[in-house]
Amino acid sequence: MKLDYKTLPGPQFYTVTEEKSLEETETSIYTEKFGKKAMEWQAICQCGKFSQPFVTTATLNTQIYIEECLQKRLLPLIRQHKDPVVFWPDLASCHYAKATLQWFEDNEVNVVPKHMNPPNFPEIRPIENFWALVKAYLRKHVKRSTTVTQFQKDWKKAATSVGNSSVQKLMAHVRGKVRHLGYD
């Protein structure tokens, strides 16, 4: 994700009440072609809780994924629950690497098997809608982050503003779709 939030995809429009011409600087958003980007990882739960975010400018490989995302962020979130939790990752290669699957087994984390995890189906991944809400907040309230540390602070604030009740609603919406598809 670009650190300049005004360049994030989403509705951006102008309303003009009287008939007049606008300057191009008023109707166009100029961006750096290769502006700074960061990758963000965060887990959410049906109870409304979410993990601490992980932000990096590096490529997410299996080792970083296990250490930073799973061990430091997912496991503490899972341990907050008494009942069993099922983790549903997307299909990034590091999410189903041999070392990752071994980590899940070693830490007794139930994970949706890859063969039951349909590709290109964002409707059953509420994290996609959560990210959209966070990005909308960033677009509206924060102009840009100049560092990855600032981006992480901005993201945490935006995620908190989305709130637990919004996460619960996103998860409730997906439960019906999952049952309908026979994944329950």
More confident residue, 35 or 149: 149
More confident residue, 29 or 134: 134
At residue 73, the pLDDT reads 96
How many distinct structural domains can be found in the chain? 1
Q: What is the CATH number of the domain that holds 165?
A: 3.30.420.10
Chain CA centroid to CA 74, Å: 13
- Indicate if the pLDDT at residue 132 is higher than 80: yes
At residue 26, the pLDDT reads 64
Q: What is the pLDDT of residues 13-69, one digit of tens each?
A: 556 666 777 676 666 655 555 566 788 899 988 888 889 999 888 888 999 999 999
Q: What does the alpha-carbon distance between residue 22 and residue 154 come to, in Å, rounded to a whole number?
A: 32
Q: What does the alpha-carbon distance between residue 16 and residue 179 come to, in Å, rounded to a whole number?
A: 46
More confident residue, 134 or 124: 134
Burial of 100 (0-12, 13-18, 19+ CB in 10 A): buried
Max intra-chain CA distance, the chain: 66
At residue 111, the pLDDT reads 93
**Could you tell me the pLDDT band of residue 106, with boundaries at 50, 70 and 90?**
very high
Rg (CA), the chain: 19
Where do the DSSP E strands lie in 81-133? 86-87, 110-111
Q: What does the alpha-carbon distance between residue 51 and residue 13 come to, in Å, rounded to a whole number?
A: 33
- Mean pLDDT score, 128-152: 85
Domain encompassing residue 142: 5-181
At residue 151, the pLDDT reads 87
* Helix-, strand-, coil-residue percentages of the chain, each rounded to 5: 50, 10, 40
Q: What does the alpha-carbon distance between residue 107 and residue 92 come to, in Å, rounded to a whole number?
A: 20
